[in-house]
Amino acid sequence: MSYVDVGKENSTSIHLYYEDHGSGQPVILIHGYPLSSASWEKQVPVLLKAGYRVIAYDRRGFGKSSQPTVGYNYNTFAEDLRKLVTHLKLRDFVLVGFSMGGGEVARYIGRYGSKDVSKAVIIGGVPPHLIKTADDPEGVDGSVFAGIEKAVAADRYAFFTEFFKNFYNTDVLLGKRVSEQAVQASWNTAAIASATASLACVPTWYEDFRADVAKIDVPTLVIHGDSDRIVPFASAGQRMAKMIPGAELVVIKDGPHNIAWTHADEVNGALLNFLTKPAAKSQTSATKKKAVA
């Protein structure tokens, strides 16, 4: 099992669990809440077969990574990712983030630039700014997030049961595109996550990534389900694709939040098509020179 040390909480080291398979151009997979890197099981073999080196890691507090009570904010998440990239000495890599993972993609480039980043993919991501504010009326009402925080604090196990119904749109897709067992497996993964992380990550969903998104200057693919009940397409993916010059948008018809599972063939096809496509000159322009070393 492979781990990278990303810091300490008092006397205890904080380690991120990661897997590193294959060879070729590195593709880093960043999972969503409240799952782990195991959630990419429908993408990993496809990417490996296509000749990519696939790296997937568990965010702090989730999966097999350490469960500290500190560091649940996007600056720290991006720093954790940076330490993994540095540890593996990666160059010319692709960042692929699902849901919360889309935030890491945006904040990583926002903080560290795109010097070694080849491309970016955001699937059902939370950027650019999910919460409704006076200067951003297109977001989700804050009461929704307050209700989620209250539910997680009261009984996170009961919350996860209801959450995954909308994560997979089980009223429509159960038995068709997702099985009861797959939903249960997601619940099991969520249940072993840190209680602290389960609650502390909720307010990070409405982090303001608009300044970060403005710094994304690499070819970018945005994939989003048009029936996403967790991160609404109109509030997130649709807006983000418009904010990034030259970004490619793929909308998955009837797709729920976790389209990487329910619509894996469509997602994988769009992902591979994007990865093999030569970068447009407009996306490797002079703005790239502003990347932080």
Check 15, 129, 257, 263 and give the catalytic one: 257
Which residues on adjacent β-strands are paired with residue 105?
none
Check 36, 39, 99, 198 and give the catalytic one: 99
Structure tokens at 240: 């983000």
Q: Could you tell me where the beta strands, DSSP code E, fall in the chain?
A: 2-9, 12-21, 26-30, 53-57, 93-98, 117-123, 220-225, 248-252
Amino acid identity of residue 119, one-letter, is K
Structure tokens at 234: 């109109």
* Sign of the torsion formed by the C-alpha atoms of 63, 65, 67 and 72: negative
Check 58, 212, 217, 228 and give the catalytic one: 228
Between CA 108 and CA 82 the distance in angstroms is 7
Whether 20 sits among the annotated catalytic residues: the reply is no
Nearest-10 Cα torsion for 214, 39, 275, 128: -10
DSSP state at residue 117? E
Place of tokens 């769009």: 270
Whether 13 sits among the annotated catalytic residues: the reply is no
- Whether residue 33 contacts residue 201, with contact meaning beta carbons closer than 8 Å, is answered with yes
State how beta strands 12-21 and 2-9 pair: antiparallel
Whether 99 sits among the annotated catalytic residues: the reply is yes
Q: Which residue numbers are catalytic?
A: 99, 228, 257
